[in-house]
Structures are given as structure tokens and as C-alpha cells.
Amino acid sequence: MKDGHAPRRKLLIVIAGLLALLMITPFTSSYVIVLITHALVFAILAMSLDILLGYTGLPSLGQAAYLGMGAYLTAILAARYQFGLDWTFWVVILMGILIGAATAALFGLLAIRAGGVYFLMITLALAMCVWGLAYRWNSLTGGDNGIILPPRPQFGIQLSDDVTFFYLVFGFFVVSLAMLYILVKSPFGRSLEGIRENELRMRILGYNTWLHKYIAFIIAGGFGGLAGVLWAHAHGLVSPEDVTLATSVDALLMVVLGGSGTLVGGAIGAGIVVFLREYLSTLVPWWQYVLGGVYVLTILYLPGGLMSIPERVRGWRASSPGRSLSDLRPTNS
């Protein structure tokens, strides 16, 4: 980021990528459209996690909880009360965000106090509470079988059409990306980054770091809830499977694979993980080797994620002419 135009150029690349996605997707096969829609839903979840992991330095292992709360709320309202199947869909969206945020507000009280590995463990355990309820509270959640949703809402437009629904999810994705981008560029986002880098220093400077982290936690929960509402309608079935540890861990992988602290990286990671889980699993029986391999290889060889590749390539290019010289010199690094 040495020249001032770099951020603008990155922004243009992202916009071009989004436009390309928007233009090309409707002309692909119906299966690919569904796949991309699922990827976009998880991209929202991954970006919400990136606020915690990439910008605040809080590795949450429980992001599936908020997705689950939003998804179950949507499914229960739709299947039981036929609520949210017309214009009230927008009310459900709002309720989904609120329930995600409220859950995060509750969990945050317990989790934020802890740091590092304890935070990982506690968020994991809290998400398991949600899973336990989803799995066992048969009369409300349908237990292991989950809840099958009625056809998607219609309010002038037919969301049951996969292309229309893709446009809707795409819209939510872009709005989420824009809002989160503004958030991380805001003074509040900058203080989050400060907390990530050195919390003690921020506290000495007079920042209420607990409150900053708590608010970030709630915001992430809200976007997680939004992803949940969209996931319920995208998948048509909500089951405890959606709230398992695997979902939370996958969300973490998405962020790390794409590159944490970049927002867009999480979206790219979501695309790859959804592709592996949903597409590759239909092709080959040994797809879990690929998924597991991606985990291991990312961690060992690509700690900065895919988004760090251009930076690395540039690093190579910059260092290659002087390489023979610098190799001879002893270095500290």
C-alpha cells in the first residue's frame, strides 16, 4: 500500500468482480446458481466473523450459533405460523438480525472477558448450547429432523424462483459488505484494529476496550443472524446440522483461507469451502481428504490466506534482483 491509488484500485477490482458475478451467474446452470447463492450466504457469515477475528483479534469458534438462531427463527415462524412468507419477510429479516445480535449480547457477557485460547473454548461451548437446544427441543425445533420450510416468500416478486432469490441474496451480500467496509474504516473500526494489535496500550490510551469488543461481538452476531434467515430460505431445511461445531469451524477456515482482516477474503474463502462441501462431495467420495488437506495446507503454507498472494508475489519480484547479494549478507529476519 505504498502508492495512494492502491486502495482505490482494490475497490475497483472488488466492484468489477461483484458485477461479473451478478452478470454471469443467471446464465449458468440452475445448480450453479443455487451453489453461488449458498456461497453468498456463508460469505456474509464469514465476513461477520472477520470483524471479530481479522479486525478485533477475537477468534470465535461459535459463529454458527447466530446463524442457527436466525435460521430457526425463520423456520419456526414460517412453518408454524406462516409468518414471513409475504412482505413480512422483511420483518423476519429484521427479527433475525435482532435475535442474532441479542444472542451475541448474551454470549458476549460471558466470552469477552476471556482472552486467547479461553475465548475459543468458551465461544465453542456457548454455540454448543444452541446446538443442544436445536437437537433436543423436539417440540420447538423438530429435533434431529429439523424443520422443512414452506415455499419461499412472495411479495410482488417470486423468491421461489432461484434466480430472483440469488439477486436478493446478492443484494444482501453487497449491502453487508459495504456496511462492514464502512465499519472497519470508521474510527470505531480503527480502534478495533488497535485492540487487535495491542489491547493494553489502547486501554492505557483511555479506550474502553471491553465495550469495543462487546459491540463488535454484537454486530458480528447481527450479521450472523441475517445469514441465518437467508440460509433458512436458501436451503429450505433447518436442522441441528447447521449449528454444529463443523459450521463454526468452517466459517473460521473461510476467513483464514481467504485472508483474515480483508472482508473480501472471507467471501472468497466461503466460495471455496461451499464448493468443496456441496459440489465436490457429490463428485467423489473422498472429498473430506480435500477439505482436511485444505485446512492443513492453508495453515502450514498460507497463513496470510489467498489475499496475501499478490503481496507475496510482489515481495518476490522486489527482492529477486538483489537476491544474490542479500543471500550473502547475514540478516536478522
Partner 1 sequence: MDTKFWVIQAFNGVSYGALLFLLASGLSLIFGVMRIVNLAHGSFFLLGGYVALTVIWTTNSWLLALPVAALVIGVVGLLMERVFLRPLGFDPLRQVLLTVGFAYLFQQAALDIWGGDNLDIVPPGMLKESAVVGGVYFPMYRVFMIGMAVVMGLILWLTMEKTRMGAMIRATVDDSEMARGVGIDTSRVSMFIFALGAFLAALGGVIGGAFLGIYPGLDFVILPIAFAVVIIGGMGSLTGAAVGSLLVGLADNFGKALFPEISYFTIYAPMVLILALKPTGLFGRE
Separation CA 304–CA 312 (nearest Å): 10
Does residue 292 belong to the site contacting partner 1 (CB under 8 A)?
yes
Does residue 215 belong to the site contacting partner 1 (CB under 8 A)?
no
Instruction: Give the DSSP letter of residue 240.
Output: G
Of 264, 180, 271, give the one whose Cα is nearest residue 222.
Answer: 180
Separation CA 11–CA 256 (nearest Å): 21
Does residue 117 belong to the site contacting partner 1 (CB under 8 A)?
yes
Does residue 64 belong to the site contacting partner 1 (CB under 8 A)?
no
Does residue 300 belong to the site contacting partner 1 (CB under 8 A)?
yes
Which one among 1, 200, 204, 296 touches partner 1, defined by CB under 8 A?
296
Contact status, residue 152 vs residue 159, Cβ threshold 8 Å: yes
Does residue 295 belong to the site contacting partner 1 (CB under 8 A)?
yes
Indicate the residue type of 34: V
Separation CA 242–CA 247 (nearest Å): 6
Contact status, residue 254 vs residue 99, Cβ threshold 8 Å: no
Does residue 298 belong to the site contacting partner 1 (CB under 8 A)?
yes
Does residue 288 belong to the site contacting partner 1 (CB under 8 A)?
yes
Does residue 11 belong to the site contacting partner 1 (CB under 8 A)?
no
Separation CA 74–CA 111 (nearest Å): 26
Which one among 33, 34, 98, 114 touches partner 1, defined by CB under 8 A?
114
Contact status, residue 195 vs residue 212, Cβ threshold 8 Å: yes
Cβ-based nearer residue to partner 1, 175 or 246: 246
Cβ-based nearer residue to partner 1, 10 or 277: 277
Positions touching partner 1 (CB under 8 A) are: 53, 59, 61, 109-110, 113-114, 116-118, 120-122, 124-126, 128-129, 131-133, 135-139, 244-246, 249, 252-253, 256, 286, 288-289, 291-296, 298-300, 303
